[in-house]
Amino acid sequence: MSQTLALTVNGQAVRLTVDDPDMPLLYALRNDLGLIGPHYGCGLAQCGACTVHLDGAAARSCVLPVREAAGRHVTTLEGLGTPERPHPVQAAFIAEQAVQCGYCTNGMIMQAAALLARTPQPTEAQVKEELAGNICRCGTQPRVVAAVLRAARGG
């Protein structure tokens, strides 16, 4: 009863064989594709740790059945940018040192990058509003906001 799905992950066409097409995308990314950027935090769409881009929009991969990703473009933190070609939000997170344990960081960056794609010059209030569903227990919020605003300013 395993099933093969075709999707695009970080710009590459992939075929994924899964036992259960209802499995959340997160497990396919982490375990089948070895992509460790997205994290399991709650599995309930409550914390943001698992955030990826689905056709450019931020999505919680912990509740998205993998079958719904078929035929679509998924981008993970690894695909957003690299040390050689960082996404502006990634560069700004380094500049602002906006990370403690970093477990939430994937979600913060992916959510913020999705915001900047829609709204390149957000206000501070818009940044906070966008990140309302992202939890950080270590207390990086002020630095995260500063980093997103820095990225919007162009570094």
Which of ligand FES, other proteins, none sits in contact with 60, Cβ below 5 to 8 A by type?
A: ligand FES
Residues of this chain that interact with ligand FES (CB under 6 A) are 40-43, 45-50, 60, 62, 99-104, 136-138, 140
Identify whether the C-beta of residue 88 lies closer than 8 Å to the C-beta of residue 80.
Answer: no
Distance CA 14, CA 5 (A): 8
30 or 60: CB nearest ligand FES: 60
Kindly report each contact of residues 137-142 with a partner whose C-beta sits within 8 Å and lies 24 or more positions away, as own/partner.
137/104, 138/100, 138/101, 138/104, 139/100, 140/98, 140/99, 140/100, 140/104, 140/105, 140/108
Which of ligand FES, other proteins, none sits in contact with 2, Cβ below 5 to 8 A by type?
A: other proteins
Stretch that binds other proteins, among 53-61, 81-89, 115-123 (CB under 8 A): 81-89
Q: Which of residues 50-69 bind other proteins (CB under 8 A)?
A: none
85 or 154: CB nearest other proteins: 85
Among 5, 63, 70, 135, binds other proteins (CB under 8 A): 135
Give residue for tokens 């913060």. Answer: 108
Which of ligand FES, other proteins, none sits in contact with 150, Cβ below 5 to 8 A by type?
A: none
